[in-house]
A and B are shown apart, each in its own frame.
Chain A
Amino acid sequence: MDTSQTLLVFFGGLVPMAAVAFALGRRKALLSDARGARMHSLPGQYGVYVATWMALPALAIGVVAACAVLIGVRVPSAPFVLSFALFGAAVGLAMALRRVEPTLRARNAIEKFVYWTLFAASLVSILTTFGIIISILFEALKFFNQVSVWDFVTGTNWSPVATFRPGQDAADSQFGSVPLFAGTFMITAIAMSVAIPVGLFAAIYMSEYASYRIRTFAKPLLEILAGIPTVVYGFFAAITVSPLVVDVAAFFGLNASYTNALAPGLVMGIMIIPFISSLSDDVINAIPNSLREGAYALGATKSETIKQIVLPAAFPGIMAASLLGVSRALGETMIVVMAAGLRPNLTWNPLEDMTTVTVRIVDALTGDQSFDSPETLAAFALGLVLFVVTLTLNLISIIVIRKFRQSYE
């Protein structure tokens, strides 16, 4: 029996059995009700109670067996596990059925069961975060066993040597991450210099000037920008914007590379406009009108009110929005993979080709490298840094936004 067949038998058997258990529990409750006993809960609730206690042991055995298989412990054959689960189900059914008495609080038991199921579901998001940390951390630690943290942080030469080529030694590899981070920050800076002013001014227009009709028309349009997949932006940056940048640079007598940093930066900035504008819009709307009216009463014009009253009051929120934007730009992958270069290059000139952290991660993990080669491990080390930096930015902005909301509620 293969896995899918086993699963089919398991769940295919469990569903009718649960139905039978439900019917049995309900029947017993109805019978004692007919005999004149005052039942605590509804008959159907006893049915659910019995079905739950029938299914839980079987599911538990199934999950334990599945985990044992996955971590490589030898387990008895599938038919044995199936019959063992069936046995567990029968025991659970018998015990639960015996407990169906007028005094059994089946409804409360169901309530408790639902509570813990929902609680368990909420743990998945925490497990996800732990999963990310664990999956990155262990490989990154392996990498830092081979390469010193100091070299990684301060080195200016990133040249991993492919281990699969004969005559080359992995020990010759250099893992100085400074050029990668320089490229990442350069592209992020270009993106933010587009996204913050445009996004902020658009938000001010929408929340302070626009009529209701313009708002309902323009807001969804801006949100389309946020809905365009990044691979599409990447194609646009590579095929349309990059050549345009090269042409414009040539017009001014400058020499630009076709994988220059400017094109992905500009396109990334456009992608981030809606994040900044919708968050800033919320923040500006949260500023109470009494502040604006106070300014008008003193004779300030609209733009003076915005510049001197609304924006300073909304500053923490706008900053938080911008930090979220920066975090998104640092971690953006597809645009840079498709439009930025592969060559680590330490330069101030955005017309030259540069590479970023995310590009190198993708490059290392989609190549033919073996999984424990230093270059692959380096990708996890880069991932660790990326995670720590974006986590810090996200946490600051989440906390600032929470505080901001509370202060105007």
Chain B
Amino acid sequence: MNIDSIKNGYVIDHIEAGKSFEIYNYLNLGELDTSVAIIKNAKSNKTGKKDIIKIDENLDINLDILGYLDPKITVNKIKDGKIIEKFHPELPEKLVNVVKCKNPRCITSIEQELPHICELTDRENVVYRCKYCEEQVNR
């Protein structure tokens, strides 16, 4: 299967096979006007299968969330058809409305308009806690 290579934009590579739609939704890519390609089950030498997302525009997208979703993801920034930057997104210090606190005793369980804020409290063990009730939230 051929997908045109992009001139300016991002290639989000090494996504765990089957997870691309989740990432597409988290990044709100559905709202973009530009071409976005989702490649499912692409061949991977390392893992056998992987997903890839290509975004054909150099937008200012906050990709930090990718570090939280899957630290193995690689982001390639493309300019004039060439990779100008390649990185693994860092774990963000704070997540806003990415994951919901599931603690039934948390204030967010009754006050729906509150933003769901989670903070990184242990980088080594990747522990995020709800800003309100401090309960650990799971990916």
State yes or no: do A and B come from one complex.
no
The residues of A with any CB-CB pair to B shorter than 8 Å are none
